[in-house]
Amino acid sequence: MSLKIVMIGSGYVGLVSGACFADFGHSVICVDVDENKVARLNDGEIPIFEPGLEDLVRTNHLAGRIEFTTDLTAAVAQADVVFIAVGTPSRRGDGHADLSYVYAATKSIAAALTGYTVIITKSTVPVGTGDEVERIVRETNPGADFSVVSNPEFLREGAAIDDFRRPDRVVIGTEDDRAIAVMEEVYRPLSLNTAPLMFTGRRTAELIKYAGNAFLAMKITFINEVADLCEKVGADVQAVARGIGLDNRIGKKFLNAGPGYGGSCFPKDTLALVKTGQDNDAPLRLIETTVAVNDQRKRAMARRVIAACGGNVRGRTIGLLGLTFKPNTDDMRDAPAIAIAQGLLDGGAHVRAYDPEGMAQASKVIEGIEFASDAYDVAEGADCVVLVTEWNEFRTLDLDRLKSAMTGHGFVDLRNVYRREELEAAGFTYSSIGRGDENRGVLTAPEVTA
């Protein structure tokens, strides 16, 4: 049965989810307060980069299964299901999740309800938010017939469409039989893929999302600290990661040493979970440490580059390959590249950078760097090149061409994409993360006049 679904918010989660629900055969209306964004979407212009999303939206828009509007009242009035997919950024000053957008959307939804409607929080929200959403609806529209459900998203940027279509699990927080029946219909097309629909209490569902992200962030931070130890004792963190990852109790994913985690989820969600623990007298010490270590690591990567350049980058040109927090996205939120670039600029370096998709967004958050046209343009006249984000096009660089464009010979690999032997054969001084004896040498710093 095709349902009438309304998605409040046409950002990353709302747009991907809305397009996928439309592809399931449901009738979807995406609502956003940004008139310019809605106009662009109706013209077929996608405001974010996500592989496959443009074609998916275009196909379903032409088929009449998805539309975009600023008119929330008209959309909600005809809806069977309303998803709240607005932002929940860290609140300024204290790190709690800012729920003002969620609650504003809730009030507008409540005023527009007609007939039985399931209201679903798709946004990542702290434990108890669903209770407050329910209270607001009852207060705003005492006669409304509705249920409130928690249905957190687990989409990886760069692989979101595949994750939506082939999920590990679909967590649905409700104990209301009517809501359960509706949610089963919402996700019925996934039954061919035997997707595990997991029904829980609403508060449990809200916590599953935060606990999952915090655990993955902690896993990344763990292997980064192990990488630092590997460098001190002459061990190889990639072999260590493989050795422990082959244990099924641990698993191999999220054990790639690097410059720290970033993005739209891990930084704000770990911080929000820490605040929730503190507010409920159940401090989460491991997550508190994860947040602190990750913040420190990003800036430390700039110091690593400076050390590889002999301890001085003043007047030198440093090239950055990649800016986004991960490949296959244009998302610059909390990307390690921000702290790395700033640290190099503070050290007096001239910073040139290239990213296949992220430069427009990077220009809004990093001041004082030069943007290049490709990887080899980045290397032109550079003393050192730093691989920051492991885009596929950076995995098979023409090393001879790269080296010939440079003034110096430094290559700092913050993602462990290359092998020391091939870089040294091409004439580079190579530095990587957590690979023991590979990081013994540094570049000789030339004399530079201030």
Measured CA to CA, the distance from residue 368 to residue 342 in angstroms comes to 9
Q: Where are the alpha helices (DSSP H) in 335-397?
A: 336-346, 359-365, 375-379
The secondary element (H helix, E strand) that includes residue 371 is: strand 370-371
Averaged pLDDT for residues 63-72: 97
Q: What is the DSSP string of 250-319?
A: T-STT----S---SSSHHHHHHHHHHHHHHTT---HHHHHHHHHHHHHHHHHHHHHHHHTTT--TT-EEE
Q: pLDDT (tens digit, 9 = 90+) per residue, 376-388?
A: 999 999 999 999 9
Q: What is the pLDDT of residues 348-357, one digit of tens each?
A: 999 999 999 9
Confidence check: pLDDT of 443 > 50:
no
- How many C-beta neighbours within 10 Å does residue 427 have? 14
Sign of CA dihedral 98, 104, 107, 110: negative
Structure confidence at residue 193 (pLDDT) = 63
Question: Is 309 an annotated catalytic residue?
Answer: no
Give the residue among 328, 336, 386 at the shortest CA–CA distance from 362: 336
Model pLDDT for residues 28-54, shown as the tens digit of each residue: 999 999 999 999 999 999 999 999 999
So what CATH class is 4-200? alpha beta
**Residues forming beta bridges with residue 170, ordered by sequence position:** 197
CATH number of 236-450: 3.40.50.720
Give the three-class secondary structure for 172: strand
**What share of the chain has pLDDT > 90, as a percent?**
93
Alpha helices, DSSP H, located in 309-374? 336-346, 359-365
- Residue 437: the pLDDT is 58
Confidence band (pLDDT; 50, 70, 90) for 196?
Answer: confident
Q: Is the dihedral of CA 414, 419, 424, 426 positive or negative?
A: negative
SS3 content of the chain, % helix, strand, coil (to 5): 45, 15, 40
d(CA 425, CA 423) in angstroms, rounded, equals 5
Read off the pTM.
0.91
Measured CA distances, 298 to 218, 259, 366, 367, 416 (Å): 15, 6, 15, 17, 16
> Is 444 a residue whose pLDDT tops 50?
no
* pLDDT computed for residue 194 by the predictor: 67
With cut-offs at 50, 70 and 90, classify the pLDDT of residue 91.
confident
Q: Is the pLDDT score of 220 beyond 60? A: yes
Q: For residue 46, how many other CB atoms are within 10 A of its CB?
A: 16
Set 20, 30, 265, 309: catalytic member:
265
Span 366-417, pLDDT tens digits? 999 999 999 999 999 999 999 999 999 999 999 999 999 999 999 999 999 9
Which amino acid would we find at residue 444? T
What is the model's pLDDT at position 195? 67
Provide the token pair at 169.
Answer: 């699990």
- The token duo for 81 is 């299901």
CB atoms within 10 A of CB 33: 16
The residues of the chain that CATH labels 3.40.50.720 are 4-200, 236-450
Residues 226-255 pLDDT 10s: 999 999 999 999 999 999 999 999 999 999
Which has more pLDDT, 65 or 441?
65
Q: Is the pLDDT of residue 450 over 70?
A: no
The C-alpha atoms of residue 302 and residue 260 are separated, in whole angstroms, by: 12
Give the residue-averaged pLDDT of 297-313. 96
Count of helix runs (H) and strand runs (E) in the chain: 17, 14
- pLDDT at residue 258 greater than cutoff 50: yes
Mean pLDDT across the chain: 94
Write out pLDDT tens, residues 325-361: 999 999 999 999 999 999 999 999 999 999 999 999 9
